[in-house]
Amino acid sequence: MNENRLLSEPVPPETLFGDNEARLRAELYIKNRLKYQDGYYARRAMEYSHNADFMLRLTAAVMGISAMISALSVGTDKPIYAFLTALLPAFAGMVSAFQSLYQWQRQAKLYQETRLALRQAELVMPDSDFPRPESPAEQFTQLVQEVETVLRNEAQQWGQLLNVQTTGTSPQGGTRPPSGQGGRSRTRS
């Protein structure tokens, strides 16, 4: 067996590490990668939902105040009421445009969907009460692939990555290794 096998050559997962090591790696991966990302997405979704709700309330409050001042200005000849009656709806429109520009509700929805996809990917690792026929090494490999696919898809929604599936070139213009493999040589220790 060649000890300096490149990652471009398929390596069966069971030859990379044993069952106990695969369980440990899965536990560490879930704790340090998956749960960290889940927490990040939860915080961002909550922040963006809060921002969207705040802007909606602010727009409604400004429009309500504008309606009250407009009603007050009918019985009064003070120019400040007429000025505020014209200014406040314009301000409410500006706040609404600001909300549309940032699209907080849409972003919160994207983060929530990514959280759900991460939780679904975590289900690849079964409970210890219900073992599956695949080895823990195969389950760990599948877990990493599914989680990283979810994260890559989320990043692509923001236009940060190019989807280079079959062209064989990296975004920098060089030849890229097959999907999911970094091109470094791996030796077994």
Percent of the chain with pLDDT over 90: 38
Indicate the range of 44-53, 63-72, 78-87, 131-140 predicted with least confidence: 131-140
CB 104 within 8 A of CB 55: yes
Boundaries of every domain in the chain: 17-182
- Give Cα 177 distance to the centre of its chain: 26
pLDDT of residue 167: 47
CB 169 within 8 A of CB 177: no
Beta strand 5-6 pairing with 185-186: antiparallel
Alpha-carbon distance of 166 to 119, in angstroms, equals 28
Alpha-carbon distance of 66 to 74, in angstroms, equals 13
84 vs 189, more confident: 84
| pLDDT surpasses 60 at 15 | no
| pLDDT surpasses 70 at 160 | no
Confidence of residue 60 (pLDDT cuts 50, 70, 90): very high
